[in-house]
Amino acid sequence: MNVIDARLHAMRGAMHRWTVGCLLAACGAALAATPSDDAEATLKEQGELLARAAAAVVGVQVQALGHATSAETLGKLRLGSGVVIGTDGLVLTIGYLILEADQVDLQLDSARVVPARVVAYDQATGFGLLQPVTPLRLPPVPLGDTSQLAPDEPVMIVSGGTPVAQGELSLARVVSRRPFSGYWEYHIDGALFTAPPRADHSGAALFNANGELLGIGSLIVADAGGDDAPRLPGNMFVPIDLLKPILKEMRDSGSTALSHRPWLGLNCVESGGQVRVVKVSRGSPAEAAGLQAGDLILRIDGVAVAGLERFYKTLWGGGAAEREVTLEVKRGDETQTLKARATDRMKTLTQSLGV
């Protein structure tokens, strides 16, 4: 039995109940009007597609470089998932797992581990690419289109196995799709939010009922439904639509042009449209400029700051990555004007092996 046959065999039993429930929920009206034999054949066919998709998800184990600057927040040992998207075994994962990696291993099952090299890290989207050093013999998954997602559509989340945990699959629902701004100078449009939450979300694969990849897991969140919705814990996924136009660029250059943008080294939170500093990275432009935790950012380069998205887009759209940025901040009862020399974040990272 080859690798794909073995993985499919292991997945089929777990997939059957999920497939039936998911497809009846997603296609109930159509199936109700379909002859029972045809409906059963359709469910079986889509069950095979889902099993094949799940079989393409692998565990990712990363050991960061000993002097990696990212180790302070992400740790030196990182565990997560990735999914095969290329006929050459190319694996898509979430970028922070492989940031400043020294060693990367792909866990196919409890007995087979394949070393991999880092191909690309894209700060703008958060995606990462890995290339196994030996063939995985796993067919790639097709890339989906999140614009076709129906409201409250059922989806499948799959994580890969690691040395300390078995991979799992579960049913979830897409509860919202909206822009997302992260505290670490990160913003994307069209992020996908699902519920219920999964703790093993890092690099997990999100599939529709046809086994097409919709997104890659990034975070667990407390408000998957959005600010105006009742509190609902869930996960945020980076939509696969963001990968399609940049995949070639990532493979060719190890990143994208949009990743080379100004970086200050601030962790900020937004509340009521106000942006407050909660942490300043050591050795960062923000630290050199004198910013402190607790500072309220009022303006950047003369533009009023009304939320994280406006703050980031003004910073990134104001000119060259390495330039002087003027920040007006409120500290206690005083307002101060500080000058920070922004830098290109990609240049501050220790290069991963293979990039």
Is the residue at 91 inside a domain? yes
* Alpha carbon distance 21, 114 (integer Å): 34
- Answer yes or no: do 216 and 67 share one domain: yes
Is the residue at 140 inside a domain? yes
What local confidence, expressed as pLDDT, does residue 225 receive? 92
- Answer yes or no: do 94 and 237 share one domain: yes
Q: State the pLDDT confidence band at 7, using cuts at 50, 70 and 90.
A: low
Residue 24 confidence (pLDDT) above 50: no
Instruction: Write the CA distances from 114 to 120, 166, 202, integer angstroms.
Output: 18, 17, 19
pLDDT in tens, 294-314: 999 999 999 999 999 999 999
Full-model pTM: 0.89
- Answer yes or no: do 68 and 197 share one domain: yes
CATH number of the domain at 101, please.
2.40.10.120
pLDDT in tens, 208-243: 999 999 999 999 999 999 888 889 999 999 999 999
- Cis before 196? omega within 30: yes
217 neighbors 202 (Cβ within 8 angstroms): yes
Is the residue at 138 inside a domain? yes
3-class SS at 253? Answer: helix
Domain boundary among 255, 273, 294: 255
- Answer yes or no: do 116 and 227 share one domain: yes
- Residue 337: which domain range? 260-348
- Answer yes or no: do 158 and 185 share one domain: yes
- Answer yes or no: do 280 and 203 share one domain: no
- Answer yes or no: do 205 and 143 share one domain: yes
Instruction: Give the chain's domain count.
Output: 2
Is the residue at 27 inside a domain? no
Domain boundary among 222, 255, 288: 255
330 neighbors 295 (Cβ within 8 angstroms): yes
Domain boundary among 255, 290, 317: 255
* Alpha carbon distance 219, 203 (integer Å): 9
Q: State the pLDDT confidence band at 35, using cuts at 50, 70 and 90.
A: low
Is the residue at 38 inside a domain? no
Is the residue at 101 inside a domain? yes
CATH number of the domain at 322, please.
2.30.42.10
Is the residue at 19 inside a domain? no
- Answer yes or no: do 222 and 187 share one domain: yes
- Answer yes or no: do 81 and 106 share one domain: yes
Beta bridge partners of 162: 165
265 neighbors 287 (Cβ within 8 angstroms): yes
How big is the chain by its Cα radius of gyration, in Å? 22
- Answer yes or no: do 186 and 325 share one domain: no
Question: From its phi and psi, is residue 348 left (phi > 0), alpha (psi between -120 and 50) or beta?
Answer: alpha
- Answer yes or no: do 104 and 128 share one domain: yes
Is the residue at 152 inside a domain? yes
- Answer yes or no: do 104 and 169 share one domain: yes
